[in-house]
Amino acid sequence: DVKVTQSSRYLVKRTGEKVFLECVQDMDHENMFWYRQDPGLGLRLIYFSYDVKMKEKGDIPEGYSVSREKKERFSLILESASTNQTSMYLCASSPLAGGRYNEQFFGPGTRLTVL
């Protein structure tokens, strides 16, 4: 059974703190993604990675960075959290394309509140 896990379901941090959101997948997938989900805005891609140590900016990378030191783990980092980063964060993974589409599998999400 495919599985994407996220380190926390709920997280409360203070403005200016450095925040780490962790995502682990057990499917040996090459691609991993970080989205944020906000009411009325849907899901927006923050960063994605197609290999270890490789990363690409998504549509809203400002204020975020990522790290992928191992194939199964993809971390989202908020260097200095701000209140406008209060959101639901979703991680996803998918296998290498190989010339065809492959489904993205999502984790349960981390609801981050920045006070």
Partner 1 sequence: AQSVTQLDSQVPVFEEAPVELRCNYSSSVSVYLFWYVQYPNQGLQLLLKYLSGSTLVESINGFEAEFNKSQTSFHLRKPSVHISDTAEYFCAVSDTNTGFQKLVFGTGTRLLVSP
H or E segment at 74? strand 73-78
Q: Which of residues 46-105 bind partner 1 (CB under 8 A)?
A: 48, 50, 56, 58, 90, 92, 94, 97, 100-104
Measure the CA–CA gap between 36 and 41, rounded to whole angstroms.
9
Nearest distance in Å: CB 42, partner 1: 4
Measure the CA–CA gap between 39 and 7, rounded to whole angstroms.
23
Measure the CA–CA gap between 11 and 90, rounded to whole angstroms.
13
Is residue 7 near partner 1 by the rule CB under 8 A?
no
Q: Is residue 40 within 8 Å of residue 24, measured between CB atoms?
A: no
Binding mask 14-43 for partner 1 (x = CB under 8 A): -----------------x---x----xxxx
Binding site for partner 1 (CB under 8 A): 4, 31, 35, 40-45, 48, 50, 56, 58, 90, 92, 94, 97, 100-104, 106-109
